[in-house]
Structure 1
Amino acid sequence: MRSPLTYLPAPVRGGIAIVALAVNTVLCSLPLFAFALLKLLFPFAWMRRRVDPVLNAIARTWVAGNSLWMRLLHPTRWDVQGLPAPRRGWFLVNCNHQSWADIFVLQHLLHGRLPMLKFFLKQELIYVPVIGLAWWALDFPFMKRHGKEALRRDPAKRADDHEATLRACRKFALVPTSVMNFAEGTRFTAEKHAQTASPYRHLLKPKAGALALTLGAMGGKFDAFVDVTIAYQPGIPGFWDFLCGRVKQVAVHIDQLPVPPEFIGLDYAGDSQGRKRFGRWLNALWEKKDARMDVLLGTAPVETGPQEFAAEPAEV
């Protein structure tokens, strides 16, 4: 049964969503920062093992609060295939990237089913008011992502993201975590698609670095590789459109795959042959994902019927 709030005009829904998101963020950030201070004052593994579960619980409360206003305000139809049963452990999650809405979609769907999602973020996002500090407190890894020109001037900068990934993986290994990676490295736009001469219809070229380094550093720890594909109708939403509930349909396909054993412990920087094998594997995955986008967007025959999203997932 739809909430009566979904019948409000879209700009009104958007305004309510902004207020709800802001209040939820502030209320959850206050206790989050208090416990993060303990971790900062006592930077030891034993303290991290005790504090990180509390921080993750607070973050899950934030996700649940966002899911609540999404259900109340958005008339969006959810078609989801392959929604995982609740599981504990460590997971490597990969997804195509089109909009800021992707983060809310992933959290909404996987909340209570997989451990807390930890994203690789651009370094600039640490300066986002309140939420940037929250990401830092939750050990989200911040990547500098130097441009080609900067790397040409100073090749040593290539090691920055390598070291950031390895530091993050050492922290992730202490507490069950879902390590989330957008392999495209940036949001899809038609302009970026043309500039990069992407061979895929709906996707940008994937960047192997963070994914390969994570598998190399802690691949043996992961219980599964979770590949997610998201498609929006009638088109990719801006964040304001998403807040207003102007997304008619979100179609999602989730594959739970075994972690490729040949890439566990891979020395991505030093093993040129392993790097090539990983590139071929990732490109093959992207070809399947591109074809899956055709199915989700309704431009190809649907192979299996969609599974309706369960509004109240069980807690992990």
Structure 2
Amino acid sequence: MANLLNNLIMTRILAAITLLLSIVLTILVTILCSVPIIIAGIVKLLLPIPFVWRKVSVFCNFMMFCWCEGLALLLHLNPWLKWDVEGLEGLNKKNWYLLICNHYSWADIVVLCVLFRKHIPMNKYFLKQQLAWVPFIGLACWALDMPFMKRYSRSYLLRHPEQRGKDVETTRRSCEKFRAHPTTIVNFVEGSRFTDEKHLQTRSPYKNLLPPKAAGIAMTLNVLGSQFDKLLNVTLCYPENSRHPFYDMLSGKLTRIVVRVNLEPIQEELHGDYINDKGFKRRFQRWLNTLWVQKDELIEEIKTSNKNAGH
């Protein structure tokens, strides 16, 4: 009994030390990579010249790649972590991709950055417009050409009908810059991280997912049209660390990351006016909901096989 108690205490002490070291190292890596990006953002702000902007974008993408490499090294220090990945074949850094993914945790961003850093163009994440005004962070994201989205609620548009369509225009301006060079645009289409509380609040018809929000990717496809080579439908799962994967990642207790990547063709019928064409809107939602049904079944299958393997 005493030995068991001692082992438990030692395990918790090691986890606490690992957590502290991981946080410190992650902050250091982030500072080393973000400070040059912020400086480059200031240069971009002061010199609004296309040639300068292109050079700044290349430099910032390189620094983001360095950040991904640093995170990959930190994850590699965890000897218990196993990657279970399928579907990376056929990816190319010279292509344009729209990547959609389910969203469990802050760990998802780390996983996507680390996993795809050598396979596809650097990820660009859709961000809320308000983030653009956050000191340093907003400037860094702007320097990295992250697309900002301005969303209006239905109730707001009823009170201010003159704002209708402005969110589409904001998305259009954010995406136009990606025509010039290969890009991966990432959209967590559930809109927020999965929790049991949100699952109940949204009355989700899925066991493991929140209902997908179609407007963002519909607008992106409408703006860039046939520019995208493929849709990357990514399914993430942490079958042994489903409750707190980000904390477990930092504390060295993350044991298994499961990623399934499906390359989906982007059919011509997926390009249309989501705002004004009700028929297209229904078809697009039906297509996305079908993908989400398949994703939910896949996650359930992964969880079931993991439970069976544990017995």
What range describes the TM-score normalised by the shorter chain of this pair? 0.7 to 0.9
Give the drift of 1:160: 4.2
The residue aligned with 1:223 is 229
Q: 1:246 to 1:19 in 2, by over 3 A?
A: same
- Per-residue CA deviation, residues 108-133 of structure 1 (Å, 9 max, x unaligned), is 11011000000012345446664443
The residue aligned with 1:214 is 220
- Per-residue CA deviation, residues 32-74 of structure 1 (Å, 9 max, x unaligned), is 1232223223334333333211211111111111111111136
The residue aligned with 2:257 is 250
The residue aligned with 1:192 is 198
Question: 17, 22, 40: which is aligned to 2:27?
Answer: 22
> Structure 1 residue 273 and structure 2 residue 279: aligned?
yes
> Structure 1 residue 161 and structure 2 residue 167: aligned?
yes
Query: 1:282-301 maps to which residues of 2 (within 5 A)?
Result: 282-298=288-304
* Higher-RCO chain (CA-CA 8 Å, sequence separation at least 6): 1
The residue aligned with 1:312 is none
Equivalent pair of 1:91/1:223 in contact (CA under 8 Å) = yes
Question: 54, 57, 72: which is aligned to 1:52?
Answer: 57
Give 3-state SS (helix, strand or coil) of 1:297's partner.
Answer: helix
Partners of 1:190 and 1:104 lie apart in 2 by 22
Partners of 2:142 and 2:264 lie apart in 1 by 30
Q: 1:129 to 1:50 in 2, by over 3 A?
A: closer
Structure 1 unmatched ranges of 5 or more: 1-5, 303-316
Equivalent pair of 2:274/2:280 in contact (CA under 8 Å) = yes
- Per-residue CA deviation, residues 87-128 of structure 1 (Å, 9 max, x unaligned), is 112111000011111000111110110000000123454466
Q: TM-score, normalised by structure 2?
A: 0.86
The residue aligned with 1:307 is none
Query: 1:88-99 maps to which residues of 2 (within 5 A)?
Result: 88-99=94-105
The residue aligned with 1:183 is 189
Give 3-state SS (helix, strand or coil) of 2:280's partner.
Answer: helix
> Structure 1 residue 80 and structure 2 residue 85: aligned?
yes
Q: 1:129 to 1:246 in 2, by over 3 A?
A: farther
Query: What is the number of residues matched between the two proteins?
Result: 296
Give the drift of 1:86: 5.0
Q: TM-score, normalised by structure 1?
A: 0.85
> Structure 1 residue 42 and structure 2 residue 47: aligned?
yes
Equivalent pair of 2:41/2:139 in contact (CA under 8 Å) = no
Structure 2 unmatched ranges of 5 or more: 1-10
- Per-residue CA deviation, residues 159-195 of structure 1 (Å, 9 max, x unaligned), is 3432221111111222211000011011111111111
Partners of 1:129 and 1:296 lie apart in 2 by 41
Q: 1:262 to 1:37 in 2, by over 3 A?
A: same
Q: Tell me the amino acid that sits aligned with residue 125 of structure 2.
A: F
